[in-house]
Structure 1
Amino acid sequence: MNIVAKDVHLGSGKLTVMVKDSIDIQGFQTIAGSKALEAIPAAEQNAVVVERILAADCQITAKTNLHELAFGITGINRAFGTVLNPKYPALIPGGSSSGSAAAIAAELADFTLGTDTGGSIRMPAACCGIFGLKPTFGRVSREGVHPENSSLDCVGPFANSVSMIETAMQIIDPSFHPAKALESAPKLAVLNVQASDAVNECIAEYLAKAGLDLTHTAIASFDDAFHAGMQIINFENWQAYGALTETGLLGSDVHTRLLKASETTRQQVAEAEYVKEKFSQEVDALLNQYDALLLPTLPQIPPQVADAENTVAFLNLTGLVRPFNLSGHPAISVPLETKDGLPVGLQIVAKKTADEQLCAIAEFVVKAAQ
């Protein structure tokens, strides 16, 4: 199974962990799934999250493969091979944290770490049928994570249960203290967004089974937030990786995306920052009325690998996740499955810094639907 970028085997603790190869581990290269970085020196020190994992007496067994430079959403990587989606082999594993998600789906680790700049934890979690958490922006240290400078990126965990997500968060974020189990139903609102009939029906049936009292609502600037997030990511990734377009070693999809990203202007970024402020305020206002917002993780069933060669053509798959990178709110993807056995993700979003409450709400919803 093509999942692991390289074996590591550090520590000897009880919990086994794998780490996305955009996160530094001392003595190993951080090549981010790219031939263009194969000649770089090994990392001189561990990323802060790696130090915390080792300090918690966990064993890091491998670094995981990813969509090249973490700049893609399908997980397709021609340089080092595309990660197999263990539960749904014909479908994309999702990107960019494809290896970290697939490793959990294959039960190769207790938890894994990914990064999420525009959905790169939640999307592969939905594709691979597992849980994935994007924490509140800035809550988990990015020191030793690539690219070095990002105004949207978050390090977060994948696992096969909410309880293991909470365990992982306690390890990588010392300020995380799990909330008590909810004794009564939280006040939840479903966001009205565009998604396929198959996705909407799956989520509606799941929530009906859970017996939750739900209100439907909308956010006026939701679509604008998606586009604004794209502008910021493009601008920052060009700053970080633009020089690699001169090496001739990048995959064609990432090479093309970076060149397109080079056209992003500072004026566009300034306009995106305005949308960021507006959208964040709108989400905050809703979360002052509700404990959490519910919506699909992906707007459609993940495409087959054979149909997803053109990454750019599928950027709309991040339409429901990328806005919350812009706003910085914590969001978790809960795995569901259609009657036909296809993966769907339920995304739950909570107030900033309320990551503990978000996990408690996710656990309540999961148990209520059982």
Structure 2
Amino acid sequence: MSAFISEFDLRARGDADGPTIAIKDSIDIEGYPTTAASRALADAPAATEHAEVVQRLLDAGWRIKGKTNMHELAFGMTGINDFTGTPENPQDATRIPGGSSSGSASAVGLGLVDAALGTDTGGSVRGPAACCGVIGLKPTFGRISRHGVAPLKTTLDCVGPFTRDMRALIDAMNAIDPSFDAGIARRDASKMRVGIVPVDADASIRKAVDNAVRRAGLVSRVVELESIADAFTAGLAVINAETWQAFGHLVDTGKLGADLVARLRVASNTTAADLDAAENVRRIFTAAVDRALDDVDVIVLPTLPSFPITLEAARAGTSVIAMSSLIRPFNLSGHPALSLPVQVEGSSLKAGLQIVGRKGADEHVCAVAAHIEAALAQ
């Protein structure tokens, strides 16, 4: 099982000792094909230029160590890939690594690189981060360049980093986003106000989230978040329609995994009425999140409602769609959201604490995460 599809050492001239990073195989690197870990794209021509985020990393002195594995065509949540292999979950090799940015989360969790880039359309950075016990950020929609990133058209997808600590994550954001203010991200966040969202999740994980906020000494109160279940359903409709538009032509090639063919065929049934309804929910839920953030600086909730299932259970057909119930809604609304690993009492596994901020306030999300991280390390 490999986190990487291909390994190499790409660096800017003269930068031999920069931090290392891996790039998901849906992001272009000049001279290498972008295959999205699919047999159907295995013969794709090499990219003729770097994606903008890749060029920015090189310009900032980062060393690119390779392209990471992923759930095929970025359309799945388990991370299982029978063509390129399934990356190892660093927390528990018997469990799924999460998708679709499975290789990126795995590479960081295994200590193979300092950071990795993934993409998040329906939780595909935050989900694998929570599964693999690392940090993952979905920035505000549209904030990070997607030039050179597949699919070309999306209203949901965001490029985002994985790291093992907040220092590295802030450094990575500083490299890929010219508007990112690292000074704000490193400010004291002890006075930030936190809204805790009551959600349907395992009691032990909810308790871990509450305990982390309490240990950080942050002022908190319960904040109800309306329409989150509707936003989950609407997000599914949008991702189905946009993924079918991008990759539906590959269904009849005979080169896609059976699981992907089945999901794409379901996706093809998304109607214009479904999308109209989803866009209405998008407006309602976005307004609800904005209202929830009127009186607090960030809202927090679990990243995943439960621990990742085993590979065996996933291969036997156990549904994983509920994994995205708490993360997919924020793709629909476009708010920045970060998953921070927190210890769960009585378990060797860490769960994800999700921190959601106002649009454009990615730095404040990072500052709160860094504050909680420091408190939990004491």
TM-score w.r.t. the length of structure 1 is: 0.97
- Alignment match, 2:350: 343
- 1:253 paired to 2:281: no
Structure 2 match to 1:190: 196
CA contact (8 A) 1:73 1:311 kept: no
Q: How does 1:69-218 map to 2 (within 5 A)?
A: 69-178=73-182, 179=184, 180-182=186-188, 184-218=190-224
Distance in 1 (CA, whole Å) between partners of 2:239 and 2:318 is: 14
Contact 1:135 1:329 (8 Å CA) reproduced: yes
Percent identity (aligned): 46
2-structure distance, mates of 1:362, 1:53? 23
For 1:27, the aligned partner's letter is G
Match of 2:8 in 1: 8
Task: Give, as a single letter, the amino acid of the residue that structure 1 aligns with 2:40.
Answer: A
Q: 1:239 deviation in Å?
A: 0.4
Q: Deviations over 1:126-160 (max 9, x none)?
A: 01101000000000000100011111000010001
Given residue 90 of structure 1, which amino acid in structure 2 is its aligned partner?
Answer: T
Q: Are the aligned partners of 1:10 and 1:59 in contact in 2 as well (CA < 8 Å)?
A: yes
Residue in structure 2 matched with residue 233 of structure 1 by the alignment = 239
Task: Please state how far the C-alpha of 1:88 moved relative to its aligned partner.
Answer: 1.6
Deviation at 1:183, TM superposition (A): 5.6
Shift of residue 286, structure 1, vs aligned partner: 1.2
Residue type of the partner of 1:244?
A: L
2:44 is paired with a residue whose SS is coil
Code of the aligned partner of 1:274: N
Matched, 1:353 2:360: yes
Q: Which runs of 4+ in 1 moved over 3 A?
A: none
2:286 to 280, 294, 298: 280
Q: Secondary structure at the match of 1:308?
A: helix
Distance in 1, matches of 2:372 and 2:220, equals: 12
Counterpart of 1:295 (choices 295, 301, 305) is: 301
Distance 1:232 1:37 in 2: 23
Structure 1 Cα separation of the partners of residues 38 and 223 of structure 2: 42
Point out the more displaced range, 215-224 or 98-107: 215-224
Mapped to 2, the partners of 1:52 and 1:311 lie a distance apart of 41
Residue pair 1:74, 1:311 contacting (<8 A) in 2 also: no
Inter-partner Cα distance in structure 1 for 2:300 and 2:279: 25
> Cα–Cα, structure 1 residues 142 and 312, in superposed 2: closer, same or farther, change >3 Å?
farther
Which of 66, 73, 88 is equivalent to 1:62? Answer: 66
How far did 1:311 drift?
Answer: 6.8
Distance 1:310 1:290 in 2: 43
Matched position secondary structure for 2:320: helix
1-structure distance, mates of 2:268, 2:86: 26
Q: 1:221 to 1:183 in 2, by over 3 A?
A: closer
Aligned partner of 2:271 in structure 1 is: 265
Report deviation, 1:57: 1.8
Relative to structure 2, which stretch is displaced further, 64-73 or 306-315? 306-315
Equivalent residue letter for 2:239: I
SS at match of 2:351: strand
> Is the contact made by 1:302 and 1:343 (CA closer than 8 Å) also made in structure 2?
no
- Using the TM superposition, give the Cα deviation of residue 312 of structure 1 relative to its aligned residue in structure 2, in angstroms: 7.6
Post-superposition shift, 1:118?
Answer: 0.4
Q: Tell me which amino acid in the other structure corresponds to 2:3.
A: I
Which of residues 210, 219, 226 is equivalent to 2:225?
A: 219
Q: Does the 8 A contact of 1:18 with 1:100 survive in 2? A: yes
Q: Deviations over 1:68-117 (max 9, x none)?
A: 00000110101111101122211111110000001110111111100000
Q: For residues 277-333 of structure 1, what are the alpha-carbon distances to aligned partners after superposition, in whole Å with 9 as ceiling and x for unaligned? A: 111011011111100000000001111111112678111100000000000000000
- Structure 1: how far apart are the matches of 2:7 and 2:135? 24
The one-letter amino acid paired with 1:72 is G
3-state DSSP of counterpart to 1:345: strand
State whether residues 212 and 372 of structure 2, in contact with CA within 8 Å, keep that contact through their aligned partners in structure 1. no
Q: Deviations over 1:214-265 (max 9, x none)?
A: 2112122110000111100000000000011001111111110000000001
Change in CA separation of 1:367 and 1:311 when aligned onto 2, cut-off 3 Å: farther
Q: Secondary structure at the match of 2:8?
A: strand
The normalised TM-score by structure 2 is 0.95
Aligned length: 370
SS at match of 1:80: coil
Matched residues in 2 for 1:246 and 1:312: separation? 26
**AA at the equivalent of 2:5:** A
Q: CA RMSD in A?
A: 1.3
Question: Is the partner of 2:213 in helix, strand or coil?
Answer: helix
Query: CA 1:259–1:183 in structure 2 vs 1: closer, same or farther (change >3 Å)?
Result: closer
One-letter amino acid matched to 2:122 = G
